[in-house]
Structure 1
Amino acid sequence: MANILIINADANLRRLIKLALPGMEHFVQYSASRQAAFSHPSSSTMDLVIARLVADDDQGPEGLVELRKAFPAARLIITAALHDPALEGEKFQRVVRELHIEYCLLEPIDTGAMLHTIQAALALPKRPESGPPAGRAATGA
């Protein structure tokens, strides 16, 4: 059984996650925004955080840094719209690598892909509480 937090999910993503989780006995919580999630009292006990990146909410790569700091031991799945301008460029890709974000899914996402991604993320070894080293330089392109 895993503790899962869903952040900033629209109705379609909530429905998709609900369809992907039947038969799995997990404790699932929802947070309407990133800011509300950061003050979540049980952030250290989260096994998996699924967060929807929304460009018009000003959630770019900097928001991912905050997300990793708030949930250092959690495995992260980020979902985003294909047309999201925040996904363009090397800076976003570099931040995803540096923060060790396990999965980044581009919408539209089908139920099978979400199910497979959740199962794969939960099968990964537990992250150390400290998270990635601060100020780690990017390697490679």
Structure 2
Amino acid sequence: MRSRASEFAVRVSLVVMGVFTAVPALALVQPDQLESSYGVTDPDPMLLTLLQHRGMLQLLAGAALIWAAARPGVRIPVALGLVVAKTTALALTASRPEAQDRASAFIQGFDVVCVVALLWIIAATLRSARGAASPA
């Protein structure tokens, strides 16, 4: 059984990750923020559309993390989805030197911390479920 303190820490972690993961949604209403986030200035209409769409997907991912804070039953699938998404983004960026040169160290660091935290949350959730299922 998970202690109240560790459950509180998991919930706070998921909410904080969710809020920061959703920040790129600002591109939907404030396209100028793409410069500070991605180094993109004066994007052509297609690139702007793709980045704004990415912002919407990030908003949904952030909302899912916040949902997982309130609903322990969805933590594992939400966390797995975000681990795959964030790891893919990191791998794609690292595999392209020009992209890596322009990437925000803060955003990449945040994604690495999220992947580690989400893997820990998955493991803790599995341990807690196994402990609750074992006969005493």
> Which bin holds the TM-score, normalised by the shorter protein?
under 0.3
Hey, which of these two has a bigger chunk of helix by percent?
A: 2
| Bigger Rg over Cα | 2
Hey, which of these two has a bigger chunk of strand by percent?
A: 1
Q: Structure 2 length as normaliser, TM-score?
A: 0.27
Q: Structure 1 length as normaliser, TM-score?
A: 0.26
